[in-house]
Structure 1
Amino acid sequence: MNLIRIFDRAKVFIGVLVSGDALRVRTMRGGAWLGMGSIAEQAVRFARNMLLARILAPGAFGTMAIVISSASLVDMLTDVGVRAAIIQNPRGSETAYLNASWWIGLGRSIFSYSIIFAMAPWIAHFYDRPELSGLLRVALLSVLFNGAMSPRSALAQREMKLGRWAAITNGGGICGVILTVALSFYMRNVWALAIGYSGENAFRLLLSYVLCPGLPLRHFDRNSARELLMFSRGIFGLAPLNLIISRADIFVLGRLYPLAALGLYTMAVALVTTPSIFCTNMLGQTLMPALSTIQEDAHRLNRVLLEVTSWLLLIGMPAAVFIFLSAPSLLRLAYGARYIAAAGPLSVASVVVFLTVLNSVPTIVLFAKGYPALHRHSVVVSAVAMLVVVYPACRILGPVGGQVAALLATSFGYLIQLILLRSVTGLNLFRYGAALVLPTLGSVAMLIIVLGGRRLGLVVRPSTDIAFCAASCLIPFALCAAVRLRSSNRAHILYASKATESAAAR
């Protein structure tokens, strides 16, 4: 019976999509292209990591983590939001505007690379790693390649031809991964990672001119440039703050501990951060357009927020507990025995990622309501907490301290954002907290099953441990999902009846 109901609801949902307006259909189709492209790229990256973990020393990944983090810091500090401006501005498709944006983007890339080139010896001296200087200068050629992409490539996003954009971004990423793997077999050192990293954007540059042809003109329209720079002021600050939250641990650990330890840490955390980025991106691409259409209806916003959060809790909490319990086995199976040393950071990172995905929903609601400044407040709180806590945590707790600091920073930002959201939509925090009850009970049941099974000696190998933890996760999840579906159906029926009564009263 439940399967029939689910099938009927799926038919209705698909019917709405098919019969909906052109914008909705294009949005869903574009989201599907982006989703498929992202899944393909991340799958290839995961396979690359599994392979390279057995070819390269952990220190190579630690060195590359410092290279990418240092470059990201400079790159984000000079970000002017060229691509976002093209998508947002009504004149974005005009040749003069595209041309001005290309020259500004290229100039910004040259400026960023010049800073990186000049700072490279200083960064190498700071970490006492002379090889960092050359690696930074080679790997961050990617900044120049990114700035020189076809001026018309942003139109693929603006016009919602997202299949073409996925081919450029994800296709370039996959080509770069293949190049990295090929070079690793030949070079067997960190230079393969550095060249492959810059190669990703080199392939994107090439694909952008193949799929979105159009050379920039020499003419530079000052009015268009002025509009673009005015837009960039509104988004300034968020990227560097988010970078502090996500990369401060790398800077500190790279200074305090050997690069091999940093490499183990980076690869372990990557197991969960990659799915997190995918989930938050997909939530943003699907929820943002929908919530923007009902931004004036606070009751409906809160209802959607609670519904989505309930399902994220129901799916995410058992998944986080699964990773927390099976971290050593996952690392051994994915990367090899030497990576088991990073089980602690992976366990804590699973909780950090879980909170990050949960926090993305209130963030989307604030943006849909037109209050990005309130989100900035929560990001500032998280960044300050990270800066205060990360060094002592890493110093006292070792590499796991990096994720402990991230957990504290994420938790503070999450709580602040919920309080701010309450002032905007009138969110009932008690009802929000009540959504925790069901997944918490399921996760506790999972803990009892797994720990009891280990106590009885039922698990002897990593593969068996992972399978046992996964089964222990699925059973409570299935029971909780059935309860949640029933309560959700009752809530939808009640809401529909109230809406009908309200319409009849009018």
Structure 2
Amino acid sequence: MDAQEEEIDNSLKKKTAKGLFFGGFSNVLQQFIGFLFGIILNRYFISEEDQGKIAVILIFPLIASAFQESGFVVGLINKKNVGNKDYNAVFWCSLMISTVLYILLFIAAPYIAHFYNNPDLVSLYRFHFLSLWFGSFSIAHNAYLFKNLMVIERSKIMLAALILSNIIGLIFAYQGFAYWSLAIQTVVYTFISSSLFFYYSKFRPSINIDFSPLKDIYKFSSKILVTNIFVHINNNIYSAVLGRFYSEKIIGNLNQASKWNNMGQSVITNMINNVIQPVLNQIQDDQDRHIRVFRKILNFTAFVAFILLFGLATVADDFIRITLTEKWIKTATYLRILCIGGAFATINNVFSNLILTKGKSNIYMFNVISFGLFQFLILIFCKNWGIEPSMLIISGLNILWMFLWTAIIRNYITYSFRNLLNDVVSYVFIAGIACFAAYFVSKEIDNVYVRFGTCVLTSGILYIILNKIFKPEILTEIINFAQGALVKK
């Protein structure tokens, strides 16, 4: 490697390290802030029924947002030469699509409310759908920041929008607006984040509209569009499907469990997604390095994901009692199951990002659609068994999908099932042993706070010790990455 290549290599390492470090710190902070506001809202102002009223409609603006974005963000990231003309075409196309979609959802609101037996909530739904329209203003600007690895700026935007929207939502909840406060919080978050994306991005839209750049982008992004629709369906399928068959109270508990599980997943997936595609795309031509970087990211994801989500599953009962009080205790049962499947979902997220860097959006699309159809069929055919058996089967599906992804990517990089055992499955066993031991150490403790703290602390210490014994290289990598992120140029 000559001096110039080494300089480029070190620069990329620093960017990756900074992206992971600051992206990870930001995500932890975001989840912590959301966690605190969520506790206050749900302990004192929001009931299970209130959560259920909002949960059943979340899927509609999310599906619409997939049409609105049309895979443009991923398309722009994977396009080598991107100019102002490309961003401008995406901006105006997104705005036009979202305007049409909002009008359609506005008209459809009474029918959606009738389907879920909530005819009095038409105005609520129409207001909530405004978040879709506000979000369209940020798509091109978000792609600009993402393309240029501007992780710190994106982190500032998310944090500011999160804090301000939660404060406003809390004020409305305190004033007695109940489930309306949840809708207000969502709309305010989208408005603020869109405004800040515009502020931090150097791109400025012009009225000189030319949609011709979309032809090249859409060859790749059209498949991402279909995929993103199913991603949103997959992430919200429990409330959307089961909301027709179960009470608002049950759906509220289920949505609450899904929210906490998603918080845990988001700490990991958002941190990884901030860097993985831009970084892997930059080293696409160097296959050995490409595989090496991919495996490091996969190891890091597994190291964090399994102890975090298995740990949350282990302390689910005490976690819900401490944060939301006994009235939400049913949430703990659902949370425990979701966390097991969620840990493997973070691994599948890394595989899917890799396949996108290979330009195989059709494979990504096929996998996500297939997974969504399987989930839907499981929920429909197993609904008479109850919610929990269906959730267990779907968690098992996440595990099975990890092996399916491995079989697929073997066609594009040198990666074997033995590599999977070392990179992922080893952490499953280490995290499982640590959490299992911590549970037995703490289970006889009567005080819920002491029991919770003992379990968390014990599992963490045991996990580090076991990794130090069996996989010491991961700890060294994390220390090196942290040092790389903190060292100034």
TM-score band by shorter chain is 0.7 to 0.9
Deviation at 1:262, TM superposition (A): 1.1
Bigger Rg, which one:
1
Select 1:337's aligned residue among 308, 315, 326. Answer: 326
Tell me if structure 2 keeps the 8 A contact 1:76–1:240.
Answer: yes
Select 2:465's aligned residue among 474, 479, 490. Answer: 479
Q: Go from structure 1 to structure 2 and tell me whether the alpha carbon gap of 1:402 and 1:246 turns closer, same or farther (over 3 Å shift).
A: farther
Alignment deviations for residues 340-360 of structure 1 (CA, whole Å, 9 cap, x no partner): 112211111110111011222
- 1:420 aligns to what? 408
- Aligned residue for 1:187, secondary structure, equals coil
Deviation at 1:46, TM superposition (A): 1.0
TM-score by length of 2: 0.84
- Aligned residue for 2:411, secondary structure, equals helix
| Mapped pair 1:68 → 2:58 | yes
Q: Go from structure 1 to structure 2 and tell me whether the alpha carbon gap of 1:158 and 1:376 turns closer, same or farther (over 3 Å shift).
A: closer
| Mapped pair 1:177 → 2:166 | yes
- Aligned residue for 2:135, secondary structure, equals helix
- 1:267 aligns to what? 256
Tell me if structure 2 keeps the 8 A contact 1:302–1:425.
Answer: yes
- 1:239 aligns to what? 228
Select 1:430's aligned residue among 391, 412, 418. Answer: 418
| Equivalent-residue separation in structure 2 for 1:375 and 1:355 (angstroms) | 17
- Aligned residue for 1:388, secondary structure, equals helix
- 2:314 aligns to what? 325
| Mapped pair 1:201 → 2:187 | no
Deviation at 1:154, TM superposition (A): 4.5
Deviation at 1:129, TM superposition (A): 0.7
Select 1:396's aligned residue among 372, 385, 395. Answer: 385
Deviation at 1:61, TM superposition (A): 1.3
Residue 343 of structure 1 aligns to which amino acid in structure 2? A
TM-score by length of 1: 0.82
Tell me if structure 1 keeps the 8 A contact 2:406–2:416.
Answer: no
- 1:501 aligns to what? none
Select 1:218's aligned residue among 204, 207, 220. Answer: 207
Alignment deviations for residues 103-144 of structure 1 (CA, whole Å, 9 cap, x no partner): 211111101111211211111111101233211110111111
| Equivalent-residue separation in structure 2 for 1:423 and 1:290 (angstroms) | 21
| Equivalent-residue separation in structure 1 for 2:359 and 2:251 (angstroms) | 40
| Equivalent-residue separation in structure 2 for 1:203 and 1:414 (angstroms) | 37
Q: Go from structure 1 to structure 2 and tell me whether the alpha carbon gap of 1:355 and 1:173 turns closer, same or farther (over 3 Å shift).
A: same
Of stretches 416-425 and 402-411 in structure 1, the one that deviates more from structure 2 is 402-411
Deviation at 1:283, TM superposition (A): 1.9
Deviation at 1:76, TM superposition (A): 1.9
Tell me if structure 1 keeps the 8 A contact 2:320–2:326.
Answer: yes
Of stretches 256-265 and 211-220 in structure 1, the one that deviates more from structure 2 is 211-220
Residue 448 of structure 2 aligns to which amino acid in structure 1? P
Aligned residue pairs, count: 471
Select 1:462's aligned residue among 448, 452, 466. Answer: 448
| Equivalent-residue separation in structure 2 for 1:50 and 1:446 (angstroms) | 25
Residue 459 of structure 2 aligns to which amino acid in structure 1? C
Deviation at 1:44, TM superposition (A): 1.7
Q: Go from structure 1 to structure 2 and tell me whether the alpha carbon gap of 1:106 and 1:310 turns closer, same or farther (over 3 Å shift).
A: closer
- 1:450 aligns to what? 439
| Equivalent-residue separation in structure 2 for 1:363 and 1:214 (angstroms) | 29
- 2:368 aligns to what? 379
Select 2:399's aligned residue among 404, 408, 411. Answer: 411
- 1:140 aligns to what? 129
- 2:180 aligns to what? 191
Cα RMSD of the aligned pairs, angstroms, is: 3.3
Residue 270 of structure 1 aligns to which amino acid in structure 2? K
Deviation at 1:330, TM superposition (A): 0.6
Tell me if structure 1 keeps the 8 A contact 2:73–2:142.
Answer: no
- Aligned residue for 1:425, secondary structure, equals coil
Tell me if structure 2 keeps the 8 A contact 1:67–1:135.
Answer: no
% identical equivalent positions: 17
Describe how 1:102-117 pairs up with structure 2 within 5 A.
102-117=91-106
Q: Go from structure 1 to structure 2 and tell me whether the alpha carbon gap of 1:297 and 1:377 turns closer, same or farther (over 3 Å shift).
A: farther
| Equivalent-residue separation in structure 1 for 2:475 and 2:247 (angstroms) | 54
Residue 399 of structure 2 aligns to which amino acid in structure 1? S
Alignment deviations for residues 197-241 of structure 1 (CA, whole Å, 9 cap, x no partner): 111112224334544588644332243454454453242321022
Describe how 1:13-32 pairs up with structure 2 within 5 A.
22=11, 25-26=14-15, 28-29=17-18, 32=21
Of stretches 281-290 and 476-485 in structure 1, the one that deviates more from structure 2 is 281-290
Tell me if structure 1 keeps the 8 A contact 2:78–2:357.
Answer: no
Alignment deviations for residues 80-118 of structure 1 (CA, whole Å, 9 cap, x no partner): 234445555566432x44433322111111011112112
Of stretches 379-388 and 364-373 in structure 1, the one that deviates more from structure 2 is 364-373
| Equivalent-residue separation in structure 2 for 1:209 and 1:489 (angstroms) | 39
- Higher relative contact order by CA 8 Å / sep ≥ 6: 1 or 2? 2
Tell me if structure 2 keeps the 8 A contact 1:102–1:148.
Answer: yes
Q: Go from structure 1 to structure 2 and tell me whether the alpha carbon gap of 1:294 and 1:137 turns closer, same or farther (over 3 Å shift).
A: same
